[in-house]
Amino acid sequence: MARCSPPLLRRLFCCAAKSASAAGAGAGGTSKKNIVFLGSPQVAASVLETLLVASESPDCAFQVAAVVTQPPAAKNRGRKLMPSAVAQLALDRGFPGDLIFTPERAGEEAFLSDLKEVRPELCITAAYGNILPQRFLDIPPYGTVNIHPSLLPLYRGAAPVQRALQDGVEETGVSLAYTVRALDAGPVIACEKFAVDEYIKAPELLAILFNLGSKLLLHELPSILDGSAKERAKPQDDSKVTHAPKLNSDESWLSFNQEAKLLHNKLVNQNGEPDVLEIKVISTKSCASCDTTADGNEVLFSGNSLLIPCGGSSCLEVLELQLPGKKVTTARDFWNGLRGQKLLKSP
């Protein structure tokens, strides 16, 4: 897979104004409307891929005129600067490098100037990760539309999927909404619901919702680009708003005084990255009752699960776990490795 060095991305951003202007002039001779896409992580890259594929159709009403994403960031053990998943996809697809913008902030004068030269009719955001100032929002005549992985006005904020799972919801979804200055508060164009089972994890659900959001976006784009979507978009009911702030490191800790269901809902939020637990719990089930002969802190094994006594006489069944520096293992293999040693939970 081809890689683009961060310095190249920086140089391309500096000279973007010239090429963006040329692209805008070319677009004026066609009937296709210019769309600018903003996003950063892998789930956003899947949305960009959907737009690029759709735009290749001769009868498509739009073209992706520019891509905006977060600047290259240090990743992996070597701490090398690497482009975002969105930037990498765009480059791999042959998208012009000088039309991939990587501003530190979306309010930078140089960036806004380059954006104006692209002459976007519409901007689309998906997990971009940067606040959009009013000066940005004033540029595209058809507005800016965001794919948000919740049923707005529920779970406004940075972690809608994680908070929904933490709350144990049985249904969530994805919304298309116009972007306004207030966070995730714009009129909703359309939404699609999705049933949640108790075993789905946050990364999986996030990918599903953005995939649904991509399809919903393609379905709604004709009405967005002719202006009729703005007329029928529904204002959000502020009396039903709930918030989804970003998770913090303190929320990684488990308190087994809580009921097992609450701990299970908490654990499905894990994304595979190392955290503060010495033994990392990967997948679980919850039992409303815990019929064991153990004392209050002893962990037992039954079937294929570790049984951890929790609050309210419930049990957390641990199916998979991970030791520091090791691969994910099943509860059975972990238990066999104890060789008869007694296992106690932290009080």
Query: pLDDT digits over 74-126, tens only?
Result: 876 667 899 999 999 999 999 999 999 999 999 999 999 999 999 999 999 99
CATH code of the domain in which 154 resides = 3.40.50.170
Q: Coil, helix or strand for 298?
A: strand
Instruction: Give the model's confidence band at 6: pLDDT under 50 very low, under 70 low, under 90 confident, else very high.
Output: very low
Tokens read off for 129: 């990760």
Residue range 215-272, pLDDT digits in tens = 999 999 999 999 999 999 999 999 999 999 987 766 655 555 555 556 555 555 555 4
301 vs 311: CA distance, rounded Å: 18
Q: Pick from 200, 218, 244: which residue ends a domain?
A: 244
CB 107 within 8 A of CB 95: no
The count of domains in the chain is 2
Same domain? 155 vs 62: yes
Query: What are the backbone angles phi and psi of residue 337, rounded to the nearest 5°?
Result: -70, -15
**What region, left, alpha or beta, does residue 10 occupy, with left being phi > 0 and alpha being psi -120 to 50 degrees?**
alpha
| Residues in Cβ contact with 45 at an 8 Å cutoff, skipping those fewer than 6 apart | 39, 85, 86, 88, 89
Q: What is the pLDDT of residues 51-71, one digit of tens each?
A: 999 999 999 999 999 999 999
Is the pLDDT at 324 greater than 80, yes or no? no
Q: What is the mean pLDDT of the chain?
A: 82
Q: Distance (Å, rounded) from C-alpha 94 to C-alpha 207? A: 24
Residue of 228 and 315 predicted with greater confidence: 228
3-class DSSP state for residue 203? helix
Identify whether residues 51 and 122 lie together within a single domain.
yes
Q: What's the rounded Cα separation, in Å, for the pair 240 and 152?
A: 9
User: Minimal CA–CA distance to 69: which of 139, 11, 124?
Assistant: 124
Question: Is 268 in the same domain as 237?
Answer: no
What is the predicted pLDDT for the residue at 80?
Answer: 86
Domain-ending residue, one of 186, 213, 244: 244
Percentage of residues in the chain having pLDDT higher than 70: 76
Q: Residue 181 has what pLDDT?
A: 95
Q: What is the rounded average pLDDT of the residues 308-318? A: 79
Compute the distance between CA of residue 121 and CA of residue 101 in angstroms, rounded to an integer: 17
Residue 54: phi, psi to the nearest 5? Answer: -65, -40
> Are residues 134 and 154 both part of a single domain?
yes
CB-based contacts of 319, cutoff 8 Å, min separation 6: 282, 283, 284, 285, 304, 305, 330, 331
The reported pLDDT for the residue numbered 316 is 84
Residue 5 domain-assigned?
no
Same domain, residue pair 221 and 298 = no
Residues 164-179, mean pLDDT to the nearest whole number: 94
Please give the pLDDT value at position 201. 83
- Whether the predicted pLDDT of 16 surpasses 50: no
Q: From CA 114, how far away is CA 20, in angstroms rounded?
A: 7
Answer whether residue 276 is part of any domain: yes
Going by pLDDT thresholds of 50, 70 and 90, the confidence category of residue 315 is: confident
Using the predicted structure, report yes or no on whether residue 187 has a pLDDT greater than 60. Answer: yes
Q: How far apart are CA 301 and CA 68, in angstroms?
A: 51
Are 97 and 225 members of one domain? yes
**122 and 147, same domain (yes or no):** yes
Host domain of residue 119: 33-244
Which of 111-120, 154-163, 282-291, 326-335 is predicted least confidently? 282-291
Tell which of 221, 244, 267 closes a domain: 244
Q: Note the pLDDT of residue 214.
A: 98
Strands 122-126 and 100-101: unpaired
Least confidently predicted of 52-66, 122-136, 196-210: 196-210
Model pLDDT, residue 17: 35
DSSP 301: E
What are the DSSP E strand ranges found in the chain?
33-39, 62-68, 73-75, 80-82, 100-101, 122-126, 144-148, 171-178, 188-195, 280-287, 298-302, 305-309, 315-322, 328-330, 343-344
**Per-residue confidence band for 18, with pLDDT thresholds at 50, 70 and 90:** very low
Res 29: pLDDT:
46
Shared-domain flag, residues 269 and 174: no
Buried b (16+ CB within 10 A) or exposed e, 223-237: bbbeeebeeebeebe
pTM passes above 0.85: no
Mean pLDDT, to the nearest integer, of 151-171? Answer: 93
